Chain A
């Protein structure tokens, strides 16, 4: 049975009187791509923010492996093994590809805040940097300044940065947003390759990509889970069809 990477139980988040997420439980296993879908305002990004620590949960518990991380700050969760790509690509635009990824590798090194010796001096950091760049398909682009990369390459870079931190679980918030078909195919292939060594939670609106990638599917509406399970089972769920998918399942 696959190892459990992350589990959230009875998770809730209130903004004043508004319940953005309510009583939500979810499990993500290593080697699994778990997609979360739902209409706008369903609470998908709030869920990712709760798991990554950007938002503090109002109720519930989050465990990463066997460790409870509910009260940890985002940087501590990152060091514990949660990697995250944002809805809007979030990189260091003035740094090169190599510097971006090296910073990520540095964050998980033994001495991330060393004050003496050059930033490139640690061979372990260098090795992890080059591996992550290679995995993300950016080999040969190391010296390019990040702000001149195409949107798709910036997405690849962000994923490379996440990989360089050595996460056990990767949270991807709409990784295909704003992409052309060709760029999207590359990112889909990249995400599919992450399954081999990581647990992946993906929030995405592109249903074709979701059904291509997902091993498990959770559907949210109004901050709650209305269905969860294998994609084919969820696709046939009456509540899901009514709330979100419409006739897409028939067309697929």
Chain B
């Protein structure tokens, strides 16, 4: 197969690849069967969840294991607000679901962000499990059986139905629009002074505080924003499947999304979206070919994490652009400076 010369590809403008991806995503429903449209919707929804998680993991340096709780809680809010035989209003249920996820993130973040490192991970895990068991054991939301959304929400203004999310094509384009909006929002935040302050707190909390940055407030804002975005993804997931179950809130779901983040790479906004595509695509292929597909999936994920510490995005420059693979975050890229000695004791 003839490949484009490396230099030629590396000279391509930076905007070209996103535009090609967007054009392909728009064209996709017209060239593939409905099953793959629904599969892509699922990838995009979990990609939004993974990108939301990466705001606190990659940019903030905080490994959260409760983001599935915001995802699932939002879905449950939709299920609980949906009439049994009528469509719920999207204008009413979406803000309510996102607000609930944001509030949960505010409460959990306000408590969990007082801890650091492994304690933060454990506290977020504990809060996630608390919400899981709340919905698992309580009857109001169907208990362990979950709850159905019989009629999917719709956007109706002045009696005119503008969006019917029951149609796979409409739903797909709504999900695509939400994904593009989420990417735009996250890129804006990451490049803003707030995003730089968040990264500064991740890289050197002591220095950031000594400069005058309110670390707790910065991290809490990022956590709530991330939780809200996870809520948007959870709402769309509940709409897609017409069903919510406690498993949506469980630690297993949180860990799966964390794997997507790791596979896609922590260092970019869209890396986790690629991670979601890679993991779900891999599952699709393995399920169709192997009985012990989970075992094979685990081995492949381990191999990716070990060989591509910056995620599968790293393959692009390795194959086409910069021949040198980018090193993992935090690793020294250049000759070490004279080490700063720790001397003196007062």
Contacts and interface: CB of A to CB of B under 8 A. Distances in A.
| Same assembly | yes
A94 interface: yes
A106 B344 contact: no
Contact of A178 (B208, B330, B333, B343): B343
Nearest to B188: A116
B333 A145 contact: yes
B188 A78 contact: no
Interface in A31-61: 38, 40-48, 52, 54
A86 to B, nearest CB: 7
Contacts of B188: 115-116
Given A78-B209, A99-B196, A149-B337, A40 B344 contact: yes
A95 B340 contact: no
Interface in A82-127: 83-84, 86-95, 99, 102-104, 106-109, 111-119, 122
Contacts of B197: 103, 106-107, 112-113
Given A42-B346, A86-B206, A75 B192 contact: no
A52 B217 CA distance: 20
Interface in B321-343: 330, 332-343
B344 A177 contact: yes
A206 B188 CA distance: 47
Nearest to A46: B346
Interface in A144-176: 145, 147-154, 161, 165, 173-174
Interface size class of A (residues with CB under 8 A): 35 or more
Given A115-B188, A151-B337, A165-B212, A90 B204 contact: yes
A52 B210 contact: yes
B345 interface: yes
A197 interface: no
A38 B344 CA distance: 11
Contacts of B207: 86, 90-92, 161
Nearest to B341: A178
Nearest to A205: B344
Interface residues of B, number: 41
A68 B339 CA distance: 38
B200 interface: yes
A79 interface: yes
B211 interface: yes
A137 to B, nearest CB: 17
Interface in B174-220: 188-189, 191-197, 200, 203-204, 206-215, 217-218
Would you call the interface of chain A mostly helix, strand, loop, or mixed? loop
A231 interface: no
Contact of B192 (A48, A87, A117, A145): A117
A112 B193 contact: yes
Nearest to B331: A94
Contacts of B208: 103
A165 B208 CA distance: 12
Contacts of B345: 40-41, 45
B221 A113 contact: yes
A36 B208 CA distance: 25
A203 interface: yes
Contact of A87 (B195, B200, B332, B342): B342
Contact of A147 (B192, B212, B337): B337
Contacts of B334: 145, 147-148
Interface in B105-119: none
Q: Which 9 A-B pairs have the closest CB atoms?
A: A44-B346, A78-B212, A178-B341, A45-B346, A151-B338, A107-B212, A107-B211, A79-B212, A177-B343
